[in-house]
Amino acid sequence: MSTETELRRALQRIQAPDELEGLRRAWPLVRAAFEAREPVAWQRRNQWPLLAAAVVVAILAAALTSPGRALVGSVRDAVTSETVKPKPALTSLPAPGVLLVNSKNGPWRVQFDGSQRRLGPWWEGSWSPQAKYVIVTRGHRLAAIDPNAKGAIRWSLARAGTVRSARWSREAGDRVAYLNGRQLRVVAGDGTGDGPLRQLVGPTPPAWRPGGDRELAFSTVDGRIELVETDSTKTRWRTDPGEVPTQLVWSEDGERLLVLAERSLRVLDAEGHRLWATGLSVGPSGAAFVRKSHRFVLIRFSPATGRSDLVLLQAEREPGEARFLYSAPGDFGTLAMSPNGHWLLVGWVNADQWLFLRLTASKVVAISGIVEQFGGSERQGPLSKTFPSSVSWCCPASP
């Protein structure tokens, strides 16, 4: 692909604020003007377009140098980065639902009206279906707690290894998968029938397949992704080895699976076939599906500029042209999609802010002081260590 073509495509991928609505508003005027136009001879009609084309050629020639390549970044920054005055506190959510925030001081629940409650001194938590319970871990302990009863424990169990990455099945909520050291185990939703599923797995949190018959995806130590039927313990499919992922994310219909690692992204279908894959730069990354679709938002970091971009891609055989949604200096650390699919929560680590981006229009709401609002302080360490590690927006639960 020529440099000129690459530059042109990069510029076309930039989405200006309210671009879609602007096109809709402008079309009636453009159509009316076209119908009322005065016919003009070819030479006169094309004199200025030809001159403009010469200018474009000169600009594209500049793309052969690093300043020319920087043009894309300059244009993107001009149309995607806004100076948003942050609010000092989270007084409400922009869409209905409830948040589960995993902070350095344990999990917190945030209601639609902005009210917050710490759920106890646990290390991390994950929603049950419909947010009725939260499955939490700390050290060697796993427990199910009631967030509506001040974190009252419904059941708990202890294991020899360090317990973490517990995930409640999405459908009936009658299974919980978790890691016990390097062992993958499954327990019933009432705390009974606990047992090992696999003896040696990778550190990736397991992911229940939506709509599947108690099917669970996990990573092996050599980066293979395996889908297993938890009742029979039979493997449905297993991929080739690859980079051990940090995150497994299913689409809501269970037909697509994102395998996100530090340096790569693999997109799989429901049978484990790889649709496409791409390399990623060193730096923060994350992914979240848009509700009821195979589109997903990806955090893409650029070491050269020190910026994080949010881009929209397709989990199909062709990813499509990446559409820029937002860009800012520093690290984006968390993503969570609102239950109605209209808003995306983005954790902007370096700024100690949450950004709420409306996907259907050009609107950003910023909230500052996130670390302090969830019990943290500067004395606990840098923002990269004290900023909330993950957020889920229920229901349905976010990845």
Query: In 3-state terms, what secondary structure has residue 50?
Result: helix
Give the span between the Cα atoms of 246 and 234, in whole angstroms: 24
From residue 316, how far is each of 41, 121, 245, 321 by CA, in Å? 46, 41, 20, 12
Looking at residue 4, its pLDDT comes to 55
Q: Which residues contact 30 (CB under 8 A, 6 or more apart)?
A: none
Give the span between the Cα atoms of 357 and 349, in whole angstroms: 16
- pLDDT, average across residues 300-313: 94
Classify residue 93: in a domain, yes or no.
no
**Looking at the structure, do residues 103 and 202 belong to the same domain, yes or no?**
yes
Q: What is the pLDDT of residues 343-354, one digit of tens each?
A: 999 999 999 999
**Looking at the structure, do residues 113 and 216 belong to the same domain, yes or no?**
yes
CB 10, CB 59: distance < 8 Å:
no
Looking at residue 72, its pLDDT comes to 40
DSSP secondary structure, 17-33, as one string:
TTHHHHHHHHHHHHHHH
**Looking at the structure, do residues 179 and 297 belong to the same domain, yes or no?**
yes
Classify residue 86: in a domain, yes or no.
no
For residues 28 and 4, the model is more confident at 4
**Looking at the structure, do residues 248 and 314 belong to the same domain, yes or no?**
yes
Residue type, position 345, single letter: L
Percentage of residues of the chain with pLDDT beyond 70? 78
Number of domain units in the chain: 2
Looking at residue 252, its pLDDT comes to 94
**Looking at the structure, do residues 102 and 55 belong to the same domain, yes or no?**
no
Residue type, position 342, single letter: H
**Looking at the structure, do residues 163 and 27 belong to the same domain, yes or no?**
no
**Looking at the structure, do residues 8 and 141 belong to the same domain, yes or no?**
no
Looking at residue 53, its pLDDT comes to 41
Query: What CATH number should be reported for the domain holding residue 334?
Result: 2.130.10.10
Classify residue 92: in a domain, yes or no.
no
pLDDT at 5 exceeding the cut of 90: no
Classify residue 87: in a domain, yes or no.
no
Give the span between the Cα atoms of 82 and 364, in whole angstroms: 8
Q: What is the pTM of this model?
A: 0.80
Start-to-end CA distance of the chain, whole Å, equals 36
194: nearest Cα among 234, 145, 144? 144
Give the span between the Cα atoms of 266 and 273, in whole angstroms: 10
Looking at residue 399, its pLDDT comes to 57
Tokens of 147: 């967030």
**What is the bridge-based pairing of β-strands 353-358 and 343-348?**
antiparallel
CA dihedral 5, 8, 13, 15 (to 10 degrees): 180
pLDDT band at 316 (very low <50, low <70, confident <90, very high): very high
**Looking at the structure, do residues 69 and 169 belong to the same domain, yes or no?**
no
Q: Which of 125-139, 283-297, 320-334, 367-381 has the lowest mean pLDDT?
A: 367-381
Average pLDDT over the chain, rounded to an integer: 84
**Looking at the structure, do residues 58 and 31 belong to the same domain, yes or no?**
yes
Classify residue 90: in a domain, yes or no.
no
Which residue in the block uniquely carries the two structure tokens 């949450």? 354
CB 332, CB 284: distance < 8 Å:
yes
pLDDT at 129 exceeding the cut of 80: yes
**Looking at the structure, do residues 69 and 186 belong to the same domain, yes or no?**
no
Which residue in the block uniquely carries the two structure tokens 């796993």? 142
Looking at residue 28, its pLDDT comes to 45
| Cα 324 from chain centroid (whole Å) | 14
Classify residue 11: in a domain, yes or no.
yes
Q: What is the pLDDT of residues 53-97, one digit of tens each?
A: 443 333 334 443 444 343 344 334 434 445 689 999 999 999 999
pLDDT band at 172 (very low <50, low <70, confident <90, very high): low
pLDDT at 170 exceeding the cut of 70: yes
**Looking at the structure, do residues 214 and 276 belong to the same domain, yes or no?**
yes
Give the span between the Cα atoms of 102 and 336, in whole angstroms: 12
pLDDT at 364 exceeding the cut of 50: yes
DSSP 380: G
Looking at residue 360, its pLDDT comes to 82
Looking at residue 84, its pLDDT comes to 83
Q: Which residues contact 148 (CB under 8 A, 6 or more apart)?
A: none
207: nearest Cα among 255, 257, 159, 163? 257
Give residue 45's domain range: 3-80
pLDDT at 326 exceeding the cut of 70: yes
- Exposed/middle/buried for 232, CB within 10 Å: 0-12, 13-18, 19+? exposed
Q: What is the pLDDT of residues 232-264, one digit of tens each?
A: 999 999 999 999 999 999 999 999 999 999 999
Tokens of 131: 């947010």
Looking at residue 283, its pLDDT comes to 86
Q: Which of 23, 49, 80 is the last residue of a domain?
A: 80
CB 356, CB 370: distance < 8 Å:
no
- pLDDT, average across residues 6-26: 47
Give the span between the Cα atoms of 364 and 356, in whole angstroms: 6
**Looking at the structure, do residues 119 and 51 belong to the same domain, yes or no?**
no
Classify residue 399: in a domain, yes or no.
no
Which residue in the block uniquely carries the two structure tokens 């020639």? 61
DSSP secondary structure, 340-360, as one string:
TSSEEEEEETTTTEEEEEETT
Which residue in the block uniquely carries the two structure tokens 């968390």? 334
- pLDDT, average across residues 158-167: 97
Determine how many CB atoms are found less than 10 A away from the CB of residue 321: 13
Classify residue 241: in a domain, yes or no.
yes
